[in-house]
Amino acid sequence: VLVLSIIRPQAVRDGNVARVGASIALFLLVVGLVPTNGAIGVASGLFAGEKEQGNLLPLLATPASNRAIFAGKVLGAVLPALLFAAVAEANYLIEIWLLLGTSTVRLLPFAFSVAMVAMVPANAVFGAALASLVSSRVRTYQSAQMLTSLASFPVMGTLFGLASQMQRWGAGALLIGVAAIVVLDVLLVVLGAATWRREEILARR
């Protein structure tokens, strides 16, 4: 849909090849983010859902640290979504190549494209880490989904709002932004693990 409704008409009518290339690169972010949104829903149920079903207790009884459990849950939610995102990105570029030719694919600015692609896993981990943090604090899967949606909506809205302005940023600034999100991802996992009261869950059971 993006290629046929936006990229192809712009490539045909716009003589500014730099602008066309930047638009193609920008949609690498959009195409990658859509499949990774599912990771948030998965992460919402990894603690609260398992807690409801009683499946979390065997894991809590193991010597695994809180940090290892949180990191494992986040990765378990994110990795399948990133696989779908990689397929979507490849499909997007192949469609541009088939419909518009190799010359259009070559318009992609390398550094800007790398920054857009790198932002996909960074943002996916952020969403999953936030969902895991919320999910570990509530009792039901439904509550986890509702609270995670409320918490992540402003962040996602801000990211998409900035997406239209990202073409004006330098690639260096974008990569710094990606690094900042990665740092935030790590902090969320560490904070979630450090403040999680697994003993209370074991005691209630």
Q: Give per-residue pLDDT as tens, 33-74.
A: 888 887 877 887 777 777 777 677 677 777 788 888 888 888
Cα 185–Cα 193–Cα 181 angle in degrees, nearest 5: 5
Six token digits for residue 174: 């974008």
Phi, psi of 115 (to 5 degrees): -65, -40
Contact 134, 43 (CB under 8 A): no
User: What's the pLDDT at 166?
Assistant: 61
CB 14 within 8 A of CB 20: yes
Q: With contact defined as beta carbons under 8 Å apart, do 112 and 133 qualify?
A: no
Residue type at position 123: N
Instruction: Name the burial class of residue 182, with classes exposed (0-12), middle (13-18) and buried (19+) by CB atoms within 10 angstroms of its CB.
Output: middle
* Burial degree of 10 (CB within 10 A; 0-12, 13-18, 19+): middle
pLDDT one-digit tens code per residue, 151-173: 777 766 666 666 556 656 667 77
Q: At what angle do helices 38-53 and 66-100 cross, to 10 degrees?
A: 150
Look up residue 167 and give its amino acid. Q
pLDDT of 202 > 90? The answer is no
Lowest mean pLDDT: which of 91-95, 131-135, 179-183, 187-191? 131-135
How many angstroms separate the CA atoms of 38 and 158, rounded?
19
Q: Check pLDDT > 70 for residue 201.
A: no
More confident residue, 156 or 92: 92
Q: CA dist 114 to 3, 36, 174, 202, Å?
A: 19, 17, 10, 44
The pLDDT of residue 91 is 93
Which tokens is 40 given?
């948030």
pTM of the model: 0.81
**Contact 64/151 with Cβ under 8 angstroms?**
no
